Structure 1
Amino acid sequence: MRILYIDIDSMRPNHMGAYGYHRNTTPNMDQIARQGTRFSKAYCASSPCVPSRASFASGLFGIHSGVMTHWGPGCDFRYTSDPDRPMFMRLLRQNGYKLTTFSSFADRHDAFWYMAGWNEVHTHSLKKGDENADEVLDAVFPWLDQRGQEEDYFLHIQFWDPHRQYTMPESYATMFEKEAAPAWPDEAEITKQQDSYAPYGARMLFPGSNKSPFSYLPDRIQDRQDFIQFVNTYDGAVRYLDDQLGLLFDKLEQLGIMEDTAIIISADHGEAMGEHSVYGDHTCADEAVHHIPMIIKWPGQTSVNQEYHDLVYNVDLIATICDLLGISVPKKWDGCSFAGLISDSEAYTPREFLVWDHALYSVGRSVRTDKWLLMRTYHPGVVPLEPVELYDMKNDPYMTNNLAPSQPDIVKDLDHLLMEWWHEQVGQPGSAPDPLPLIVESGPYKYIQEQQWADNLREVGREDLRQKYLEATNQNNH
């Protein structure tokens, strides 16, 4: 079996045609979706980049892998050599698969545990994630020419393109300007967002410089026109990546291996596009940041163009790959296989709820059911968040109306699920402590320091926001 795993950074599924987006951003990925299965409610268990790829590599939630942030306290990978918790790459290799990754992730984030188990690691440039998709494929295509027709390999290709900065050819930044933009956020919502002190927010779109580095992006989002300019650029970055993937799929056709190669398309995390007043980044434990695409085209599956609405994790995807390959899923992994959905059998029990966490810029843990999202923020960091937020995701998908004050019974029920989940995780024999309190104690100040952000708010003339931020910080510190 040949497996091609396409790993996209910062990909919003609701900006893909396969998930109902009205713009033609992803024609090539949509074609793969029509040939396979897609999941509309797939989520990363921990975000952003480093903790999510720790889950990919280990099959574990962040509470077990030890990785919940990008460095420092709460970023200590625990199980590189534990035979009861084998790394995903090592497990496949032990079962006869050759594993190759084209990714600059470890180099960008000093996450060298990621190297464990691969036969080949190609960093393909020294740009540490600032390379575009064409530069990645310039390295991938010679490998495919030499090795693509071999059997039993797992080829992982990671793309950064939808992640800021958006450095695709400028023509892509304007290719959607004649098409209607998403209706949300509207003018009224953008006006409210001017009073958020969040980094990467409407008022603080480029922290530090407060100036856009590109002519095709606004300095800040003050009105609908600014939003349209920004979302056009994001969608252009997605379309540029998709065009490059079209070339990749053409290469598979030329080699005669397209039909019998498994293709998986997913992401490390999603991306905010106005949710919690943030644009083009990932700063909290909300839906926009954790919602990911998950598309699987598996040779021999009889049902195609299927969409499932079950709640699934990225760690479930890793377990499913093993299951489909006939490899026993390790009992101490956190993922549950949904291979029954791909192979059209009935051996699958859906999850009733998910718990996920985030610990960069802010620290929080959330519970997601089919209808509800409960967000518990333990340290707001530099993001204006309430300690408890509750959203009706069926009727308020952009999380604009916090129902926690008016729905105490729902909050209580979801809190019970959260604590039940937590006790199950830390109560496992041999489990290490939850790393989240370490990050709460030290603060989620990795890229933006506490005082630095207060100074930045003063420099842009928003003393009012500076005072709101300092009040929230003082409350948390006491």
Structure 2
Amino acid sequence: MRIIYIDIDSMRPKHFGIHGYHRNTTPNMDKIAKQGVRFNRAYCATSPCVPSRASFSSGLFGIHSGVVTHWGPGCDYRYTNDKDRPMFTRLLRENDYKLATFSSFADRHDAFWYMAGWNEVHTHTLKAGNENADEVIDAVLPWLKQNGKDDNYFLHLQLWDPHRNYTIPNKYQTLFQDDPAPAWPDQYTIEQHQNNYAPFSARMTFPYSDKSPLETMPDRIGNTTDFKKFVDSYDGAIRYMDEQLGRLFDTLEELGVMDDTAIIISGDHGEAMGEHGIYGDHVCADEAVHNIPMIIKWPGLERTNVQFNELVYNVDLQATICEMLGIKVPRKWDGKSFANLLRRTSYTPRDYLVWDHGLYSVGRSVRTDDWLLMRTYHPGVVPLEPIELYQMKEDPFMINNLAEEHPEIVEKLDHYLQEWYQEQVGQPFEKPDPLPLVVETGPFKYITKDKWAEHLSNTGREDLREQYLRRIGEIDSI
């Protein structure tokens, strides 16, 4: 079997045409989706980039991989060659698959454990994630033309384009200027967001700077016109990336292997576009950050152009790939194969998911069919409540915190959270949860605690500085 895994950084499923987005952002990826299946509710188990790709490499939740943040305490990858908990890449290679990755991820994040298992690692530039899709595809196509007709390979390519800043050709930065922006956030919501002290929020869209690095991106989000300019650039980056992927798909057609090649499109995490007052980044354990794309075109599937609403994790993909290939799923992986769902046989979906986040803030969340419970253990630089509860079908943008109105739901989801936690740490000889290490030291990585307070003061935002220091306990609450 030939497998191509397309790994997109910071991609929102809601911005795929196949998921109903009103702009024509993903025509090439939509064609792949119509030849396979797609999941509306796929989520990364641990965010953001480094923890999520630790899950990709290991098949584990962050609580087991040891990686729940970007560096320092809570970012100790627990590599083991245990046959019951092998690395995903090593397992495929042991089963006679040739593995190649085209990714600058390890270089960008000093995550050199990511190199393990691959036959070939192509960093293709020294830009550490600041390269555009054309540079990635330019490197991939010669490899594909040489190896694309071979059997039993796993080709992984990573694309950064939807990750800010959107350094794409001007044509794509203005491609959607005549199309309406998403209806939310509206003007009232954006006005409310002016009181958010977090980095990447409306008044501080570019931390430590009041000036956008690109002419096509606004300096800040003060109104719906600014938001449209911002989302136009995000969508333009997606469309540019999609057109570059079209070159990849055309090459598969030219080689005559498209029909016999499995194509998986997914990502490391999502991206906020106004949710929790954040524009173009990932700062907490909410729905916008954890909802990821998941499209699977697999040769021989009976059903195509089908969407699923089951709750699934990114780590379920590794288990599913193995089962579809006839490889025994390791006993201690956290992923649950949904191969039977693809095959239309007996499949018992998960009742709930638990995910966590350890950068800018520290939290763990529970997601059921209807509800999202967010527990924030350290707010870091984000104005989050300790407990937030959202009715996701009625409130998909997480505007109304219903925790006080529905204590019975909070209690029920807290029970799920404790049930999940005991299942993870209660295993014999299991190592401790790494998330408390980030709580203890603080999630102040790129944005440090004191420097952010100083920045708020120096830019005339003393009111927001006081809110921030109260929230993290540096000054007494009034």
Q: Given the two structures, how large is their TM-score scaled by the length of structure 2?
A: 0.99
**Which residue number in structure 2 is paired with residue 152 of structure 1?**
152
**Which residue number in structure 2 is paired with residue 434 of structure 1?**
433
Distance 1:477 1:45, change over 3 A: farther
**Which residue number in structure 1 is paired with residue 186 of structure 2?**
186
Aligned with 2:202: secondary structure? coil
**Which residue number in structure 2 is paired with residue 17 of structure 1?**
17
**Which residue number in structure 1 is paired with residue 283 of structure 2?**
283
1:261 aligns with 2:253: no
Counterparts of residues 229-248 of structure 1 (less than 5 Å): 229-248=229-248
Counterparts of residues 93-172 of structure 1 (less than 5 Å): 93-172=93-172
Alpha-carbon distance in structure 2 between the residues aligned to 1:119 and 1:105? 17
C-alpha RMSD of the superposition: 1.1
Alpha-carbon distance in structure 2 between the residues aligned to 1:414 and 1:476? 32
Question: Is 2:272–2:281's contact at 8 Å kept on the other side of the alignment?
Answer: yes
Cα drift, residue 166 of structure 1: 0.5
Question: Is 2:49–2:268's contact at 8 Å kept on the other side of the alignment?
Answer: yes
**Which residue number in structure 2 is paired with residue 420 of structure 1?**
419
**Which residue number in structure 2 is paired with residue 446 of structure 1?**
445
Cα drift, residue 425 of structure 1: 0.4
Question: Is 1:217–1:229's contact at 8 Å kept on the other side of the alignment?
Answer: yes
AA matched with 2:352? F
**Which residue number in structure 2 is paired with residue 4 of structure 1?**
4
Aligned with 2:394: secondary structure? coil
Counterparts of residues 10-409 of structure 1 (less than 5 Å): 10-346=10-346, 348-409=347-408
Alpha-carbon distance in structure 1 between the residues aligned to 2:139 and 2:33? 25
Question: Is 2:104–2:123's contact at 8 Å kept on the other side of the alignment?
Answer: yes
Cα drift, residue 80 of structure 1: 3.8
Ranges in structure 1 where 5+ consecutive residues have no aligned partner: none
Alpha-carbon distance in structure 1 between the residues aligned to 2:58 and 2:238? 28
Cα drift, residue 343 of structure 1: 2.0
For residues 83-132 of structure 1, give each alpha carbon's deviation from its aligned partner in whole angstroms, at most 9, with x where no partner exists: 22100000000011000000000000000110110000000000000000
Aligned with 2:14: secondary structure? helix
Aligned with 1:154: secondary structure? strand
Distance 1:476 1:265, change over 3 A: farther
Aligned with 1:396: secondary structure? coil
Alpha-carbon distance in structure 1 between the residues aligned to 2:62 and 2:210? 33
Alpha-carbon distance in structure 1 between the residues aligned to 2:455 and 2:172? 32
For residues 17-36 of structure 1, give each alpha carbon's deviation from its aligned partner in whole angstroms, at most 9, with x where no partner exists: 11111110000110111000
Alpha-carbon distance in structure 2 between the residues aligned to 1:464 and 1:380? 18
Question: Is 1:298–1:342's contact at 8 Å kept on the other side of the alignment?
Answer: no
For residues 117-172 of structure 1, give each alpha carbon's deviation from its aligned partner in whole angstroms, at most 9, with x where no partner exists: 00000000000000000001111111011111111000000000000111110111
Aligned with 1:406: secondary structure? coil
Alpha-carbon distance in structure 2 between the residues aligned to 1:20 and 1:55? 29
Alpha-carbon distance in structure 2 between the residues aligned to 1:406 and 1:302? 45
AA matched with 1:402? N
Alpha-carbon distance in structure 1 between the residues aligned to 2:210 and 2:325? 49
AA matched with 1:250? D
Alpha-carbon distance in structure 2 between the residues aligned to 1:52 and 1:80? 18
Cα drift, residue 344 of structure 1: 2.3
AA matched with 1:129? G
Cα drift, residue 210 of structure 1: 2.3
Corresponding residue pairs, total: 477
Cα drift, residue 211 of structure 1: 1.2
Aligned with 1:405: secondary structure? coil
Question: Is 1:80–1:113's contact at 8 Å kept on the other side of the alignment?
Answer: no
Distance 1:241 1:325, change over 3 A: same
AA matched with 2:380? G
Moved more, 457-466 or 98-107: 457-466
Alpha-carbon distance in structure 1 between the residues aligned to 2:170 and 2:427? 52
Cα drift, residue 341 of structure 1: 1.7
Cα drift, residue 209 of structure 1: 1.7
Alpha-carbon distance in structure 2 between the residues aligned to 1:353 and 1:80? 28
Question: Is 1:357–1:366's contact at 8 Å kept on the other side of the alignment?
Answer: yes
Cα drift, residue 42 of structure 1: 0.1
Alpha-carbon distance in structure 2 between the residues aligned to 1:344 and 1:390? 34
Alpha-carbon distance in structure 2 between the residues aligned to 1:134 and 1:281? 23
Question: Is 2:100–2:119's contact at 8 Å kept on the other side of the alignment?
Answer: yes
AA matched with 1:256? G
**Which residue number in structure 1 is paired with residue 454 of structure 2?**
455
AA matched with 2:149? Q
Cα drift, residue 476 of structure 1: 10
Aligned with 2:154: secondary structure? strand
Alpha-carbon distance in structure 1 between the residues aligned to 2:158 and 2:214? 24
Question: Is 2:315–2:334's contact at 8 Å kept on the other side of the alignment?
Answer: yes
Cα drift, residue 208 of structure 1: 1.1
Alpha-carbon distance in structure 2 between the residues aligned to 1:381 and 1:142? 45
Alpha-carbon distance in structure 2 between the residues aligned to 1:18 and 1:453? 40
Alpha-carbon distance in structure 2 between the residues aligned to 1:36 and 1:410? 36
Alpha-carbon distance in structure 2 between the residues aligned to 1:449 and 1:206? 15
AA matched with 2:470? E
Question: Is 1:301–1:344's contact at 8 Å kept on the other side of the alignment?
Answer: no
Question: Is 1:284–1:364's contact at 8 Å kept on the other side of the alignment?
Answer: yes
Distance 1:39 1:83, change over 3 A: same
Alpha-carbon distance in structure 1 between the residues aligned to 2:443 and 2:197? 16
Cα drift, residue 280 of structure 1: 0.5
AA matched with 1:162? P
Alpha-carbon distance in structure 2 between the residues aligned to 1:13 and 1:476? 40
Cα drift, residue 284 of structure 1: 0.2
Aligned with 1:364: secondary structure? strand
For residues 201-232 of structure 1, give each alpha carbon's deviation from its aligned partner in whole angstroms, at most 9, with x where no partner exists: 00110001221000001110000000000001
